[in-house]
Amino acid sequence: MNVLLRLANFFSPLTHYIAYILAYFFETLFMLIFITISLVAVIYIFRKYMARLQVRRGPNRVGKFGIFQMIADMMKLVQKESILPKKRDDLPYKVAPVVVMLGLFLGFALMPYGSFYYIGSLTVTHSSVSLVLLIAVIAIMPIGEILAGISSHNKYAMVGALRAVAKDVSFEVPMMITILALVMMASGQTSSPLNIDSIASSSRAFIAYGLVQPIGLGVFMISMIARASYSPFDLGESDSELVSGHSTEYTGMRFGIFYVGLFGSIFLGSMMVSTLYLGAYNGPFSGDVGFIYLVIKTWILVLISFTIWLSMPRIRIDKFVNFGWKYLLPASVINLILAGILTLGWSL
Amino acid sequence: MTEAEERQKWVDLNMGPQHPSTHGVLRLKVKLDGEIVKELEPVIGYLHRNAEKICELDYYCDSIIYFDRMDYVAAMNMEVGYLEAAEKLLGIPPPERVQWIRVIMAELSRVASHLVWTGAFGLDLGMLTPFFYAFIEREKILKIFTEVSGSRQEVNYMSIGGVYQDFNEKIVQEINEFCDQFPKKLEDMYDLFTKNDIFISRNKGIGVLPKEVALDYAVTGPMLRASGVPYDVRKAEPYLVYDKVNFDIPVSQKGDNLARFLVRFEEMRQSIKIVKQAISKLPEGPFFNPKAKKSLMIRLRGEGDVYARTESSKGELGVYIVGDGSVKPYRLRVRSPTLRNLSVLRYLAKDQMIADVVAISGTIDLVFGEVDR
């Protein structure tokens, strides 16, 4: 029994259609609340963690331990005057942040969240091809960045957008191939290997796909770092060269959305890695606490991401493109071959 | 080629003066071909404060504060540079103890300056964390400066023929403590950089400055030594008591970004070595020359012309003073090392990627107070 059915049951005194519409509405609302809380937590933890690494205190003025700092920052950004560049392409300029947010939320909507005590399964969307959908959806966010870079008619933003394109092309192909290897392996375990939920639940037999495919896990993790574009791969918005890349001309809440989008990408990426490779909501103790396992795994990966972010210098764009085509791609192909051999061996 | 065609080939990009990567107020006019910098023109003068002319309007003893504000990152070094010239002109040599105190302060200041450089260079490459580690160590040096002079950056510690205040037990102890704990922190920082493959790949073989070019452009300081010329004023023409301390000048033959980084780190180690020796050899004696008591200070008159060179943290600092027998200098001129080092950026940046240009301009160690004066 999942959340949707429970909500529908709750609204069942109303007619069937209205009950389901309300159920979907509230389910989406709960998901949005979870994502918003998670994003605020990610940003807050990032600032505290960064401060710890850098022997500082971090935010500590708004609320106890500065926990309301993010809310204060958001209030500030909302109040700020939105300065629009004169030569902008109006529609893409204004649409770009929305596109980034859209990609982020759609990505979260497709994740399997596991079950949580008596509430039951928390998964929002049930599709038999949700993995394909997820890959399609996470490709939306870079489009928002490119739109932002080109429409602001700023040279820094333009160079940032060009870099973002070069970067995306060079990591997405290896990422696809690793996912292919994953699907291939999952097809031996489950009848619908394109459904993330069934991949996740089938990984119980394997413990985790990441243990069987360490190369795939590595390539996918690097791809997720590159996709979220933080250091060492923050080429699109490298602040020491390109001011802040595609978001240079953005102010106020529009800038805030890009900022949130970055942290959202980190969270979504960590969640994807833990869902696909680290056994998703499966854990050592049985029981309906899958959601907790998923959150714990995701947070461990988020902290690893922060550590990488804060200790690495930025790689140069040509070196990254080289790295993508000369190392990541062959590694993913080797992973594919190994996965094929393993899958055959298993089914024999 | 017509102007329109020319414009199509290149993107003109204006970096600075308010750009996060240009240190201070450097403005770079860049012609970009994709990511490659085809041409680069540094534009300076945004921090020009007319310091030399103001020095000519003031008494000899008052000019020190303007030197503090030139290279505000290594203020003690600038004071030493000015006083070398002024004391020679006025004929007031500092006592032995003062010379040792000045060596200690100048070397601590050099370490502070290199630490600022280390942190800023990390930021140029996108490393956020080492900046704070470097600044924590620098803060300890600034605490020593506050103890002796009452001010953190613009110290105004030295005066003609002496220093403002003698070392007491507490200061000596603080300097000793700093020298004891600093080398370990320095090695930690060194590992944080050099054990990172991305850092090495970003710096090795990038921005190579050949020996001949470096000499042609009158590059001095760590940049010159990283290009293979073992020239250091402290060794070549010892001033103060540098001939009585034992230290090496690090030299690298590579001439690239990494060489400059390594040379600066080695210089910090050597500076600490010098400070340790100087503290142990610190003689007893007066801390100012009686000819330059406070009441006599504004009556000092100098005649003739004097040029003195010292090794600041950025390179060879030259101060030229012409005195006409009055209480104020007739002409004062500063040979800024950073300005000469900056002039080579145009050569180094040609046909490099824009990310590398930021890194290269980082290795020059720019402080704009000194370039523009």
Q: What would the pLDDT profile of A293-330 be if each residue is shown by its tens digit? A: 888 888 999 999 998 888 888 888 888 888 889 998 99
Of the candidates A173, A150, A252, the residue with the CA atom closest to the CA atom of residue A219:
A173
Average pLDDT over residues A171-190: 85
Residues B123, A240: C-beta atoms closer than 8 Å? yes
Average pLDDT over residues B306-319: 90
Residues A314, B355: C-beta atoms closer than 8 Å? yes
A239-280, pLDDT tens digit by residue?
Answer: 667 777 788 888 888 888 888 888 888 999 898 888 888 877
The answer to whether residue B126 is domain-embedded is yes
Nearest chain B residue (CA) to A163: B35
The answer to whether residue B9 is domain-embedded is no
A136-167, pLDDT tens digit by residue?
Answer: 888 888 888 888 888 888 888 888 888 888 88
> Quick check: B19 contacting A, CB < 8 Å?
yes
C-alpha to C-alpha distance for A20 and A43, rounded to whole angstroms = 34
The answer to whether residue B62 is domain-embedded is yes
Work out the angle between the directed axes of helices A130-138 and A140-151 (0-180°, nearest 10).
Answer: 20
**Mutant choice from A316, A318, A319 vs B, greatest count of B C-beta within 10 A:** A316
The answer to whether residue B14 is domain-embedded is no
Q: From start to end of B168-274, where are the E strands? A: none
Nearest chain B residue (CA) to A233: B126
Nearest-Cα distance to chain A for B135, in Å, is 10
Give B-chain residues touching A225 at CB under 8 angstroms: none
Is the Cβ–Cβ distance between B260 and B366 less than 8 Å?
no
Is the Cβ–Cβ distance between A169 and A175 less than 8 Å?
no
- The average confidence (pLDDT) of chain A is 83
> Quick check: B79 contacting A, CB < 8 Å?
no
Of the candidates B110, B138, B113, B129, the residue with the CA atom closest to the CA atom of residue B192:
B129
Domain spans in chain A, listed from the N-terminal domain onward? 1-79, 84-347
Average pLDDT over residues A168-182: 87
Res A212: pLDDT: 81
- Where do we find the tokens 């960590």? A270
Give A-chain residues touching B353 at CB under 8 angstroms: 316-318
C-alpha to C-alpha distance for A300 and A112, rounded to whole angstroms = 18
In chain B, the number of structural domains is 1
Percent of chain A residues past pLDDT 90, beyond the cut: 3
Res A71: pLDDT: 86
* DSSP secondary structure code for residue B128 in this structure: -
Which pair of structure tokens corresponds to residue B143?
């605490």
Work out the angle between the directed axes of helices A155-187 and A140-151 (0-180°, nearest 10).
Answer: 170
Phi and psi, residue A322, nearest 5°:
-55, -50
Res A205: pLDDT: 57
Residue-range definition of the domain harbouring residue B163: 49-372
pLDDT greater than 80 at residue A124: no
The answer to whether residue B93 is domain-embedded is yes
Q: Which of residues 305-334 of A touch B (CB under 8 A)?
A: 309-319
Res A56: pLDDT: 87
C-alpha to C-alpha distance for A236 and A70, rounded to whole angstroms = 24
pLDDT greater than 70 at residue B234: yes
B126-155, pLDDT tens digit by residue?
Answer: 888 888 999 999 999 999 989 888 888 888
Nearest-Cα distance to chain B for A137, in Å, is 29
What type of residue is B91?
Answer: G
The answer to whether residue B193 is domain-embedded is yes
B160-212, pLDDT tens digit by residue?
Answer: 888 888 888 888 888 899 999 999 989 988 988 888 888 898 888 888 889 89
Percent of chain B residues past pLDDT 70, beyond the cut: 97
Q: How confident is the model at residue B115 (pLDDT cuts 50, 70, 90)?
A: very high
Q: Which residue has the higher pLDDT, B108 or A239?
A: B108
Residues B358, A243: C-beta atoms closer than 8 Å? no
Of the candidates A225, A228, A214, A208, the residue with the CA atom closest to the CA atom of residue A281:
A208
Residue A217: alpha-carbon gap to chain centroid: 15
- Give the CATH number for residue B145: 1.10.645.10
The ipTM, to two decimals, is 0.81
How much is the CA Rg of chain B, to the nearest whole Å? 21
Residue A225: which H helix or E strand, with range?
helix A214-228
Q: Coil, strand, or helix at residue B99?
A: helix
Res B307: pLDDT: 92
* DSSP secondary structure code for residue B367 in this structure: -
pLDDT greater than 60 at residue A31: yes
Res A77: pLDDT: 86
Res B6: pLDDT: 65
pTM reported for the whole predicted model: 0.87
DSSP A80-110: S--PPPTT--HHHHHHHHHHHHHHHHHHHHT
Give A-chain residues touching B199 at CB under 8 angstroms: 313
B32-88, pLDDT tens digit by residue?
Answer: 887 888 888 888 888 888 888 898 888 888 888 888 888 888 888 888 989 889 888
DSSP A45-82: HHHHHHHHHTT---S-SSSGGGTTHHHHHHHHHHHS--
> Quick check: B200 contacting A, CB < 8 Å?
no
Average pLDDT over residues A189-199: 81
C-alpha to C-alpha distance for A25 and A4, rounded to whole angstroms = 10
3-state secondary structure B334-364: EECHHHHHHHCHHHHHCCEEHHHHHHHHHHC
Q: How confident is the model at residue B320 (pLDDT cuts 50, 70, 90)?
A: very high
Give A-chain residues touching B124 at CB under 8 angstroms: 240
The answer to whether residue B12 is domain-embedded is no
| b/e B161-185 (16+ beta carbons within 10 angstroms → b) | bbbebebeeebeebbeebbeebeee
Residue B348 Cα distances to B220, B289, B344, B353, angstroms: 15, 46, 6, 11
> Quick check: B256 contacting A, CB < 8 Å?
no
Q: Count of A–B CB contacts within 8 Å?
A: 82
The answer to whether residue B118 is domain-embedded is yes
